[in-house]
Every structure is written in C-alpha cells, then in structure tokens.
Amino acid sequence: MSQTILLTGATDGIGLQAAEKLVKLGHHVLLHGRNPERLAALQARLSALAGAGRTTVYRADLSCIVEVEAMAEAVSRAHPRLDVLINNAGVFAVNPRTTAAGLDVRFVVNTLAPYILTRRLRPVMGASARVVNLSSAAQSPVNLDALAGHVRLSDMAAYSQSKLAITAWTTELARRQGSDGPLLVSVNPGSMLGSKMVRDAFGVAGRSLSIGADIIVKAALDDSFASASGLYFDNDAGRFGPPHPHALDSSRSAALLDVLDGLWDGLSQR
C-alpha cells in the first residue's frame, strides 16, 4: 500500500538516493529541500521513473524556525495522514556558523528543526506512523549552553553534540508517549559515506551512499523496525545497540527538552 512520506534533505546525498528508492516503491514522497531549482529538477527526474509514485515538493530553510513552522503547517493542511517522517537533513561545516538569532546552525538544523517538525506533525501521524531520525556514530555530550547559543563550538563538536541531542530526544519522546504516538527511532546510517558533507569535512570520497539510503528505507517501512520505538540502530554494526550513554539518561534528556522547548517558544510564531 502506498504511504505518504516526508523526507527532509532530499536533494543531495543519502536523502536523494532514499527519495529515489521510495518513489520507485510507489510511495507518495514529500520532498524537502532548500533550493527551489534543485527541488524542481529532482521532482522532474523522479516523476520520469517507470512506475514512480507521486511526489510533492516543500521548500524551507531548516535553519529558520519560521520556515520550519510554515512547512509543517503546509504539510498538515495538504495531507490529513502522514505515514512516515524522515528527518534526514543535516549540516556539518557551514558559513556562517550561527543564525540571525545567534544559535549554532548545526544545532538548529540537526536537532531543533527535526524536533519541531516531529511535534508539529504529530496530529497527522497516527500510532502506526514512524519518525526516522538520522543520528551518527559521532556523538558527544551536549553542552546545553552551546545549544542555547551562549558558547561557540568547533565544527566537529557542534555536529557530534547535535547528533547526540537528536538521539536523546528521540529516545525521551518515545518513552514519554508510550504506545500513544508514532514510532520514533534514531539511525546511524553508516560512517564515512560518500556525501558532500563527508567530502567537504574529511576530503575523502567515502563509501557508497546506498548503504545509508537502504537503511533509511528499511527503518521507514520494514517490519523489523515495527517494535523499535525509542531504540538506536547502528548501521556500522548492522544491529540495534546502545547510543552514547547520555542519550539514555532521562534526567539529561529532560533538561535537553526543556532547552529545545524554550528555543522553540522564542523563535517561532506559535
């Protein structure tokens, strides 16, 4: 049965390959990107595939929370049921590193924007829906002052902390909602895959992007993930396993969610 799937960061890297795989399976894929020309080109390319499912495009800059809110509202209005949300978009080295509000772009794009999308789209996601959050093998303890914009971090520190943060809130939201909401799972798609991010950050070609795209699709659709809410899948090991210990610490995660909610209140128009 065709499902409606929102995929962020669909115009490049793992997201682009995942989009192609999902469309080939006949699903209605809502393609998110920041660049309207690249989005239009991707939609035309995917629509030309034999047996392709439907596509709809949504443009938003995920470093701008007002645009994140607007996209969530547009998706909710157009689609009374969302079966899967894949929070794939992520950034590592960026210029400028901070938003107009003084927040680190890595925390906003990699952690806060997915959190807001997940919360905002909850009314159109039933208990059988899934939220797949892209984590990483790079996870390090979160400095809440840095998350709040009061401390500046290096590229690697900001990235690894943002990835622990998304893993932590995924686990904590799953714990809080129990069986009353959609499945929430975090996935490390694989280390050193051949994305632009890896090339720019480390100067290496990296491994096949299909490694990451395949596990994203599996997490979104496969029965092996049907009972995985709150869990972390490490694609380097090929199995579910423990994330960084801080992601399993409820008191730390509660403090993290308090900061995320405060930032959301301060940046949005809700």
Taking all residues of the chain, what is their mean pLDDT, rounded to a whole number?
Answer: 93
Give φ, ψ of 65 to 5 degrees: -65, -30
Q: Measured in whole angstroms, how far is the alpha carbon of residue 107 from the centre of its chain?
A: 12
3-state SS assignment for residue 124: helix
The kind and range of the H/E element at 188 are strand 183-188
pLDDT exceeds cutoff 60 at 134: yes
pLDDT digits (tens, 9 = 90+) for 206-220: 578 999 999 999 999
User: Tell me, what DSSP letter sits at residue 191?
Assistant: T
DSSP per-residue letters across 7-45 = ESSTTSHHHHHHHHHHHHTT-EEEEEES-HHHHHHHHHH
| Higher local confidence (pLDDT), 179 or 224 | 224
pLDDT exceeds cutoff 80 at 201: no
Predicted pLDDT at 128: 94
Give φ, ψ of 39 to 5 degrees: -65, -45
| Higher local confidence (pLDDT), 178 or 108 | 108
| Higher local confidence (pLDDT), 105 or 203 | 105
CA distance 113 to 102: 15
Give per-residue burial for 231-262: e unless 16+ CB within 10 Å, then b. bbbbbeeeeeeebbebbbeeebbeebbebbee
Predicted pLDDT at 191: 84
Inter-axis angle of helices 65-78 and 250-267, to 10 degrees? 90
**Neighbouring residues of 204: CB distance < 8 A, sequence distance ≥ 6:** 192, 198
Are 9 and 16 in contact by the 8 Å Cβ rule? The answer is no
Are 135 and 163 in contact by the 8 Å Cβ rule? The answer is yes
pLDDT exceeds cutoff 90 at 83: yes
Predicted pLDDT at 202: 58
3-state helix/strand/coil string of 56-86: EEEECCCCCHHHHHHHHHHHHHHCCCCCEEE
pLDDT digits (tens, 9 = 90+) for 164-199: 999 999 999 999 998 888 999 999 999 867 666 656
User: Mean pLDDT, to the nearest integer, of 6-22?
Assistant: 96
Radius of gyration (C-alpha) of the chain in whole angstroms? 17
Q: What domains are there in the chain, each with its CATH number? A: 4-267 (3.40.50.720)
Model pTM score: 0.95
Tokens at 170, concatenated: 């995924």
Strands 130-134 and 183-188: parallel
